[in-house]
Amino acid sequence: MQEFITAVLAVGVVLGFMILIHEFGHYAAAKLLGVRVEVFSIGFGKRLLGFKRDDTDYRISAIPLGGYVKMSGENPMDERTGDPAEFLSHPRWHRFIIAIAGPAMNIMLAIGLLAGVYMVHYAYPAYLDQPAVIGWVEQDSPAAKLGLKAGDHIVRIENVENPTWEQVEPKVEMNPNQPVNVSVQRGEQTLNLTLIPQAYGVSQMGFAGWDPKRAMEVTELEPGMPAEKAGVKVGDLIVSLDGQPVPALGWMIEYLQQQKDKPIALTVLRNGEPITFTIQSVLADVQTLQTKAYRIGVGSLQLKVGSLSFGAALRRSVDENRKTSLLILELMQKLVQRKMSIRTIEGPIGIGRAAGAAASEKGWTPLLLLTGAISLNLGIFNLLPIPILDGGVIMLLLIETLMRRDISLRIKERVYQAAFVFLVLFAVMVIYNDLAKTLPGLAGRLP
């Protein structure tokens, strides 16, 4: 129950803040350009309290999820008086600035939050910036069917030469059941292959079935599990199981499943000295997969941790948000083309789970990173050329600029009605998608 309350509070605060920042962008631009703002509300519904200054009613409303700005004459269906302070009385470039200011605030907030976090705590998995050398291949996986082996070096994937794992992983995840061109170096031989990632898991993202070759440092120990009881410590470097080298996490997981509950010899390096433990796996839950597996209770995700100067943090944040934005746009394109499943989209329930998990973690970093990611998604979504959204307003303004006249109110009314129906259907689909991923009985009904 406590986790549920934490999730609800976290998603309410995060989404509310994101929407409030978005609306403040519209408000500030409108005020700057001389458009009358009638209402600036924190929350929706019935007015609880507030004050009026000049022409604007600043209020707190009953439903504390975001907020809204009401400008004079912003609805094309409202009667226009010709007042120069009305939204539609202003030139199109004014209206363009006001429309784009909301999404721009969300995008700038995402950049600012990420830069701020990087100045204090810049951490990422150590293997991501390493050359894409395969450490292990799962049996019967797409990679195995191509004949890929441990030690193969991915030297090209699609149009990326000499990629790191940070560049390889999105190419695979974003192409479930779609061909991906891959070149692999094996000794003196170069293999040009076509990989077809398998749609995997609840979200149906692409899965190749390989694991990066990386150092197996113990970064986490589960209390009461065999590894902790045997004396393994965080910082130990796993080198072998029963005398066999451990090249990747996937290999270790597979080996434990093969041995089941038989005692195994786990050898680690501690301060450069080898230590061997005899450990017996136990059948335990794997929360991320909602199943059971033979485990010893170690986590191994070595991080590179540091901090960046303001300039370096800002540059890195801009670059990360740019790459994320391109991935979001690619995802949207593939959804329209039906090359990816709707399961990849997270709605309010999925966001709530993520927000609750981030709020439960130690420190503010996880929640700030999630807030930045949601802010970026909100900004980009609102720039889509769908009437009612800011991107739709911008699109109609550009069309009117090219036509050199306003679109008739009758046509605008029909367009807005159709857009409203589309957004309602989209919201219903996203919520159903969330419920289906949460309730196993519905999962099979998703496309």
Residue 28 has pLDDT above 90, yes or no: yes
Q: How many structural domains are present in the chain? A: 3
Backbone angles phi, psi at 54, to 5 degrees: 55, -120
Percent of the chain whose predicted confidence (pLDDT) is above 70: 94
pLDDT of 376 reads: 94
Residue 4 has pLDDT above 70, yes or no: no
pLDDT of 443 reads: 46
- Asked whether residue 222 is assigned to any structural domain, the reply reads yes
435, 436, 441, 444: CA torsion to nearest 10: 170
- Asked whether residue 39 is assigned to any structural domain, the reply reads yes
Residue type, 8: V
- Asked whether residue 240 is assigned to any structural domain, the reply reads yes
Are 146 and 246 in the same domain?
no
**Which CATH number belongs to the domain containing residue 237 in this structure?**
2.30.42.10
- Asked whether residue 358 is assigned to any structural domain, the reply reads no
| Structure confidence by residue, pLDDT tens digits, 305-354 | 888 999 999 999 999 999 999 989 988 888 888 888 877 887 777 777 77
Model pTM? 0.81
pLDDT of 444 reads: 45
Domain that holds residue 250: 216-301
- What average pLDDT does the segment 164-174 reach? 94
Q: Pick left, alpha or beta for residue 74 (phi over 0 → left; psi -120 to 50 → alpha; otherwise beta).
A: alpha
Domain finish residue from 157, 190, 212: 212
Concatenating the DSSP letter of every residue in 411-445 gives HHHHHHHHHHHHHHHHHHHHHHHHHHHHSHHHHTT
Domain finish residue from 301, 330, 356: 301
Percent of the chain whose predicted confidence (pLDDT) is above 90: 49
Are 205 and 140 in the same domain?
yes
| Structure confidence by residue, pLDDT tens digits, 178-191 | 999 999 999 899 99
- Asked whether residue 307 is assigned to any structural domain, the reply reads no
Instruction: Tell which wins on pLDDT, 294 or 346.
Output: 294
Are 232 and 282 in the same domain?
yes
Q: Find, among 444, 446, 419, 418, the residue nearest to 432 by Cα.
A: 446
Contacts of 58 (CB under 8 A, 6+ apart): 40, 50, 51, 52
pLDDT of 446 reads: 44
pLDDT of 65 reads: 62
